[in-house]
Structure 1
Amino acid sequence: MTTPQKKLISRTASLEQPMLDEHRVLKLEGARNCMAALQLALDAHSNDIRERVMKRKAEHAKALNEEKENQNRIKEEMDMLKKKEIEIVKDIQREAQEREEMNGQIQQYQRQIRSLSTTRGGLIAEIEEYRERIAKQKAVVESEQKTLDVQASKNAPELAFCEQMLGLKLRSDKPDFIVLTFSQIDDRQPDRRFSIELDLRDTDYKVASCDPPPHNLDALIRELNSSRGFYTFIKRLRAAFRGVVVEEKRA
């Protein structure tokens, strides 16, 4: 190789070296820009992924809370339903017991009705018997009343004589009772009162009170109820009162 050729080659090499360095710088700068763009893209993608993860995490947490609330609500509803079920069971048991007691009462009432139906005939017969007795008693009372009326008409003049001559007075302080009061029996005290109250509510005479009571008063009443002789009873009662005075004088 000649000297001029060597110089030409050397000159050409010296010119190409700066061009190569500039090309490398440009290429390196481009690579850096690409790396920066890639880094930005990666950062954006990472941020997007992070935001999605956070969003999904928040949604998942919200869903878990809602699910928990739903479970709590369902549990409360189930507890309430269980309580209602227990109350319903108790109501059913109580109604069953009440129904059983009611059936027992109904059966008891039915037995009582059958018993009453069985004795109804006997009761009707007894009622009829009592009616017959009452009718007979009424007839006896009416007959006795007629007898008393007849006797009263006969005794009226005699009673008037007794009131005037024997100091006898009759009065009635209440219905169906008569009081006989005697005076002029005790010669020591002519105005002294001897009285007896007779109960006329029944067929037979009864003594309601007597002052003073003679010792034979019961016998006098029995004789009066047997004979119905009222005037005779008055005379014998007066004699009995005189006997009381005699006994008092002897005492």
Structure 2
Amino acid sequence: MPAAYLAPPRPISLHAVLDASSSAGTVPTIDLEWEPFHAHVEAFLNAIDQYTMDAKTEIARRASEHVDMVRDMKAEKEEVERRITLEREREAVMLATLEQERHTVGDLSSSLARLQQTLSKTKEQSAAVEAELNAVRKEVKAERGEKERQGKVLEQQRGRDAIELQILQEILGLRIEGVKADELLMRFTLLDPSDPEREFSMIIDVSKHEYTVPNCSPPLSTLPELLRQLNADRDLYSFIKRVRKAFRALVPNPPAAPSKFDDLSGPGLRGPIAENSGDAKDVQDGSAMQTLRIEA
């Protein structure tokens, strides 16, 4: 306790007190200085009370700080536990991933081994295919050469056929051309002795089962009967012969002495073509003619 709360000690002599009381004839008394003592006690008690209040305040402050610290530590503990749980979950996922990757690596190793075996077989097959390809290339080259040779032969034959076709058309006075899909244009000449180049034409439509003639120049009065007969017998060759006869009947002055093929070629063969072509004889004797017939 601080020294300010205590009175300084004052020495008291008991003999002096007794002597003083004896000489004065009074009862001996000792002055205890109660008032200062009481003041000192009051001051002491006040100091104790103040100390108690300060101690309580400090204890309350420390308790509040402790509660806050405990709360913070609890929150920190929960956060740490949450992180630990999260890390454990991540660890479990990582371990599962590692295990899966281990299996994947094993599968990939097996697949790689199989692919290497397949690659080896493929290389062997590729070598065999390359050898076959070289052989095929040689065959193709030889075949191409043969095709080119045949193409030249066909081209030469086509040229001869074109000449023969031209001669045949000139001899027969008949040209057949395709004008549209399923339509044939027939041009007849050598029917009028005064004008051998005069053209008689007809378009026949064969797109349907019943043949029709959308155009005929000049018109034929017997055309319906000719079509009826064609649709009945389906004989196009005979139809052409009958149409030619019908066109020739329209000529005012038909030839006086028709040949044996007059029903096909009209007034007769042209002299220069018949004389200059070796194939004209085949037409004259009938060996080059074939029957045209369209089946129903």
Q: Deviations over 1:155-212 (max 9, x none)?
A: 4543322111235658799xxxxx9x89894222339xxxxxxxxxxxxxxxxxxxxx
Map of 1:213 onto structure 2? none
Residues 1:237 and 1:124: Cα distance change in structure 2 (over 3 Å): farther
For the 8 Å contact 1:163–1:169, the answer to whether it is kept is: yes
Residues 1:172 and 1:110: Cα distance change in structure 2 (over 3 Å): farther
Of structures 1 and 2, the one scoring higher in RCO (CA 8 A, sep 6+) is 2
Map of 1:189 onto structure 2? 243
Moved more, 111-120 or 148-157: 148-157
Residues 1:69 and 1:59: Cα distance change in structure 2 (over 3 Å): same
TM-score normalised per structure 2: 0.47
Residue 115 of structure 2 is aligned to residue 109 of structure 1: yes
Residue 257 of structure 2 is aligned to residue 240 of structure 1: no
For residues 155-194 of structure 1, the aligned pairs below 5 Å read: 155-167=161-173, 169=175, 185-186=237-238, 187-190=241-244
Residues 1:108 and 1:237: Cα distance change in structure 2 (over 3 Å): farther
TM-score normalised per structure 1: 0.53
Q: Gaps (5+ residues) in structure 2?
A: 1-22, 189-235, 246-281
For residues 74-223 of structure 1, the aligned pairs below 5 Å read: 74-167=80-173, 169=175, 185-186=237-238, 187-190=241-244
Residues 1:103 and 1:27: Cα distance change in structure 2 (over 3 Å): same
Q: Deviations over 1:28-77 (max 9, x none)?
A: 44543443344334334433443443343233223312321221232233
What amino acid is aligned across from residue 74 of structure 2 in structure 1? Answer: K
Q: How many residues align?
A: 184
**TM superposition shift of 1:112:** 2.4
Q: Gaps (5+ residues) in structure 1?
A: 1-10, 174-178, 192-231
Query: Structure 2 CA distance, aligned partners of 1:53 and 1:156?
Result: 131
**TM superposition shift of 1:113:** 1.4
Query: Structure 1 CA distance, aligned partners of 2:88 and 2:287?
Result: 98
Q: Percent of aligned pairs with the same residue?
A: 15
Query: Structure 1 CA distance, aligned partners of 2:54 and 2:128?
Result: 108
RMSD of aligned Cα (Å) = 4.4
Q: What SS does the corresponding residue of 1:85 show, helix, strand or coil?
A: helix
Residue 77 of structure 2 is aligned to residue 71 of structure 1: yes
Residues 1:149 and 1:45: Cα distance change in structure 2 (over 3 Å): closer
Q: What SS does the corresponding residue of 2:118 show, helix, strand or coil?
A: helix
Q: Kindly indicate which of the two structures has a greater share of residues assigned to helix.
A: 1
Q: Deviations over 1:211-235 (max 9, x none)?
A: xxxxxxxxxxxxxxxxxxxxx9xx8
**TM superposition shift of 1:123:** 0.6
Q: What SS does the corresponding residue of 1:161 show, helix, strand or coil?
A: helix
Q: Deviations over 1:75-98 (max 9, x none)?
A: 233233234334434543454455
Residues 1:133 and 1:48: Cα distance change in structure 2 (over 3 Å): same
Residues 1:99 and 1:39: Cα distance change in structure 2 (over 3 Å): same
For the 8 Å contact 1:166–1:182, the answer to whether it is kept is: no
Map of 1:176 onto structure 2? none
